[in-house]
Each structure stands twice: as structure tokens, then as C-alpha cells.
Amino acid sequence: MFEITVNNRVIDAEPGDTILTALSRVGIKIPTLCYMKGLIPTGACRICVVEVEGMRGLVPSCSFPVQENMKIQTNSPKVIRARKTIIELLLADHPDDCLYCVRSGTCRLQALAEEYGIRERLFRHIRKEDALDMSSPSIVRDQDKCILCGKCIRTCEEIQKVSAIEFVGRGSKTIVAPAFKESLNISSCINCGQCITACPTGALRENSSLQEVSDAIADPEKIVVIQHAPSVSISLAEEFGMKPGTDINGLMTAALRRMGFDYVFETAFSADLTIMEEATELVGRITKNGVLPMFTSCSPGWIKFVEEFYPEFIPNLSTCKSPQSMLGALIKSYFAEKMGIDPRKIFSVSVMPCTAKKFEAARPEIGHDNLSDLDAVITTRELARFIRMSGIDFDHLQPEEADLPFGERSTAGKLFAATGGVMEAALRTAHKLITGKELKSLKIEQVRGTEGIREAKLKIGDLELGIAVVNGVGNARNLLEQIKAGRKDLHFVEVMTCPGGCLGGGGQPITLEDTDRLKMRTNSLYNIDQSENLRTSHDNVSVQNLYKEYLGVPNSEKAHHLLHTVYEKRNVLV
């Protein structure tokens, strides 16, 4: 450790620190736009400049290393003037449509303009040609709002390792786009939406389905059914000023009913169903010398990643549909028959933390009997907008239960929201299927955590099971390369597309607050698992009744018709 002086205050710094990391450690705030924690800084935006005694010009704090006895000013008149000029130049190339922008209130550029008191436009904005790309079912790209910070590119290339977008063109003609300025729908994009959460402005957003959902609710001929993913009730509260991780499951159900949805179901129910199908499939593969390791298939970005980049591993994917598609299929079959409803009159909606779920719902394989399993998918952010638009006040609601038969769920199904959750839920049931006994401790510590890849060997009866849990497809690429090279000690692999799992999905709330929201959401999820009694999928009575009344047994012919699917190699054009 050595000392540096910042704003006439002496603080400690460490060798290898940048000015930004040293100052952040002691709570000194410096604005950033292009900086990404954990990645090598680029110093591209220059909004983080500071003044260092003895240096002729200002230096970018994100990339400039500290030195012993360095004297720094973070808010001198020279620094303030430089930052204001940078913001004004960015605004010169930015549209004045904050009233309409989906990121108004959570836009980093807007917040900086407010913070530095910028009240007028100094330069006339000229709209870019072909600025809007709406070709993707999941993501809208608005080049007019792009500030060329490069965070979306780095997220896609360095974290997810998909490289669907890049800087294209030169000089003032530079834009962010797929290669050759093609559209997202023919690129290698896996629709994960992590670029949206990285973007500091509204240059990237989800392709909204709110109008279709609103129209369906207003149609007296439609029966509008909605399901919500396990992570939504834990993250939605943030949109309404509540502490991250607050579980508002019952309040959300009450809100959805007041908004006009006829039936409200929990996707965690079909997560339990997924476990019954997937655990049975895993046991079958192990005992009958099937293709191993088996990969989970509930994350659609991961599925598209395999289809595009590693098609040789398609046989390793579980044939199970995702929980949202399983429940969508049952709503238009079992539920429709049970209630005497024409399935063609059902408008089935899901609320997901994931933009890739929009892509999944549009896949031709995800359906049955000439019916799509789902008619619309909205993100957690879209649901928050819909709730505000409907005039719902949570302070005047009482918690309500979801509707049966798809309202009962175990905490195992709820764990699907976190990385490692699918694995933990599956192992609880696989242990029962193989040994006939419950695990002594349902908490499986080896699969919990936030590391990119976690591995363990677990003894189940006479079988030593090799497992791996992966979050982020960039990490999945590393594991797939090991398996391609001949690794054979794994039986079961869980992959979540997004870092942190669904809790960190591309459709989750975006805020300007610098808090570890992912950690708080995860802690809340494990508290739910610890505090409730029904903790295994196979003990869910509603799931048991579904098999007795309709499906027969897990992996039956009827179950395969409704709950399983196939995947095929995709050709990436750009």
C-alpha cells in the first residue's frame, strides 16, 4: 500500500490500481460511460477524466495507473468543463426524444446531463440513415441513440463470446451493427439481451409485445392467461422503489388479475414438471448408455448458441421444452379440456426475465397440433410498464394465490431462477428416482455460487455423478471445448445463458443505482427455499395429479408429444 492525495485528502492505494478503482474503494464517485468492471478498460468515452498534478492534460481515471504520492483533483473547474463538453458533444449526436424513450429515467447519458446542469442543445442533431433495426423478435437496435461506448460489443464478444455485433465503418460513419451492417435476425445473435443491460442509453431495447397483450385483454372473445417466471416476483419490486430481492409474488398475482388477465399461473409449476421429465431422461440416459453428458435445455439463448456454434452437441441437449413452453402447451391442451375452452380462443402470455424467450415462443418447433404454445412474451421491465399504465398501486393490494391447477409449486421449481437452481432441483429428484430415498440435506452447496463454471462429483446410490454448472455462454464455450477434446467425466451439465442465471436475465430491471442487485435477488431466492415446506418437485401434488389424470408417467408418449421438442443446426449468415 502507498498514499495518494485526492481532492486534498490522503488515501491508501495499491500497486496495480487505476485511479478509478482506488477512488471507488473509498467511496469517491467518478462518472463513467464505457467502463466495465472486470474487463480491461478502453478509456474510450473520456467522461471519467481527472486532473493529475504535473500532467499537462487530463487523464482517463479508468485506465490510468496510480503512483505513489500522486495528487489528483476529480472535480476541478478544468475537469468539470471537460466533462460537460463531452456530454454536450454526445448530445449533439443524440435525438431529443426522452419523452418517448424506454430508458427515460434509467439512461446514463440523461442522468449525466442532469448532473452537470446541461440545459440547452448547442448543436443540431441529424438523424442517421437506417437507424432502426426491428428484425429480431427479441431486440430492437436504435442506432440513432448509440453513443459508441462499445459496452454492448464487449459484452457480446468478451463475456458471452458470441460476437454478433461490432464497430462497422470509419470515422463519423462508424456504427454498431452486425457484420456488413446486416440485421440482427440473420446474425449470430442468441437474443440473450445482455447487450441491453450493458447499454447506457436506449440504443438497445426489447421488442415489446405490450400492444398485442393489451389488445387481447380488450377482446371479449379471448381468454387471456398469463404465467410468470420464478425470478420475476423477486426482481419486479425494484421497478417500484422496493429493496432488491423483495418477493412480491402474491401482490403481483393480485395486480395481474386487476389488469384483466383471466387466469394467473406460476411457471415454477412447470419448472417442477420439467424436473420430472428431465430427471427421468437423465436416469434413462445413464442406465441405458445414452448420449452423455446431458445438457439442460430451459435457456433458449443457450439452445441457439449450441445450434449455431456447436451443432455436434445437439444430441446432448435434453429434449425437454423450457418451463414456459411446457406450461404453454398444457394451457392449450389439458387446461383447455378441463375448463371446456376452445384452445384457439386462449391468448397465452408469459412474463420472463429473458428476451430470448420471445425468440423461443416464435420457434416453429415450440407448439403442438397446429397451435403455438405461447402467443406473447413480455419481460419483467415490460410488465412494470404495463402495471404503471394500468394505474395499479401495490400499497392498496392484498396478496393473492395463483390459479389452480398450475398455481402450486415447490421451492425446487422456484430455484430455476438462479444459476445452479435447475441442477439442484434435478438432483433432489434424481436421487429419489435412483435410490427411492430423499437426500439427507436438500441444500446442495456444491452447485451454489456465482463462479462461471462450478463442478462436483456427487454420490447417488452406487453411482458417482459428475456434474457441472455454467452461467454465461462464454463460460459454456470453454467447457464445450474441453468435452470436444475428450473429457468424459461429466454426466449432467446445467447451462444458463446469462451471468447469474435468470435472475440476471436480459429482460430484468435496469437501474442507475450501483448496488449488487444480483446477489440480493439470489439471497432472497435461497431464503424462500429454506423457509417453505414443499422443496422437491416430485412431492408437488398438482404435478402428481397431472400425471395421473393426463400424462401417465414422465417421458410417456403423451408427455413427449406436449413437453418435448427437437433442435437443428443453424447456419449463421454473418
451 catalytic residue (yes or no): no
Q: What is the mean pLDDT of residues 388-402?
A: 95
Instruction: List phi, psi (to 5°) of 13.
Output: -135, 165
Catalytic residue among 145, 332, 357, 358: 357
Catalytic residue among 51, 239, 277, 281: 281
pLDDT of 129 reads: 67
Catalytic residue among 62, 199, 298, 354: 298
Residues whose CB is less than 8 angstroms from the CB of residue 201 and which lie 6 or more positions away in sequence, other chains included: 94, 103, 107, 108, 109, 110, 145, 146, 147
pLDDT of 390 reads: 96
pLDDT of 121 reads: 85
360 catalytic residue (yes or no): yes
Please say if the pLDDT value at position 435 is more than 70: yes
pLDDT confidence bin for 282, thresholds 50/70/90: very high
502 catalytic residue (yes or no): yes
Q: Helices marked H in 461-502 — which ranges?
A: 473-484
Catalytic residue among 318, 348, 372, 537: 318
Q: Are 229 and 324 in contact (CB under 8 A)?
A: yes
Residue 387 CA to residue 239 CA, distance in Å, equals 10
Angle between the N-to-C axes of helices 380-389 and 210-218, in degrees from 0 to 180, rounded to the nearest 10: 50
Q: What is the mean pLDDT of residues 149-165?
A: 97
Please say if the pLDDT value at position 329 is more than 60: yes
Please say if the pLDDT value at position 89 is more than 80: yes
The domains located in the chain, with CATH, are: 2-89 (3.10.20.740), 126-206 (3.30.70.20), 211-563 (3.40.50.1780)
Q: What is the mean pLDDT of residues 468-493?
A: 96
pLDDT confidence bin for 367, thresholds 50/70/90: confident
pLDDT of 512 reads: 86
How does pLDDT run across 520-572, given as a tens digit for each residue? 999 999 999 999 999 999 999 999 999 999 999 999 999 999 999 999 999 87
Q: Are 425 and 534 in contact (CB under 8 A)?
A: no
How does pLDDT run across 170-203, given as a tens digit for each residue? 988 899 999 989 999 999 999 999 999 999 999 9
3 catalytic residue (yes or no): no
Residue 235: count other Cβ atoms within 10 Å of its Cβ.
31
Catalytic residue among 278, 307, 308, 494: 278
Catalytic residue among 372, 502, 524, 537: 502
Q: Are 148 and 116 in contact (CB under 8 A)?
A: no
Catalytic residue among 3, 14, 53, 365: 365
Please say if the pLDDT value at position 574 is more than 70: no
pLDDT of 463 reads: 87
**% helix / strand / coil in the chain, to the nearest 5?**
40, 15, 45
pLDDT confidence bin for 573, thresholds 50/70/90: low
pLDDT of 402 reads: 96
Q: What is the mean pLDDT of residues 414-419?
A: 96
Residue 295 CA to residue 302 CA, distance in Å, equals 10
Report the chain's mean pLDDT, rounded to a whole number.
Answer: 94
238 catalytic residue (yes or no): no
Catalytic residue among 51, 239, 360, 424: 360
> Higher model confidence: residue 93 or residue 209?
209
182 catalytic residue (yes or no): no
Instruction: List phi, psi (to 5°) of 484.
Output: -60, -35
Residue 117 CA to residue 103 CA, distance in Å, equals 19
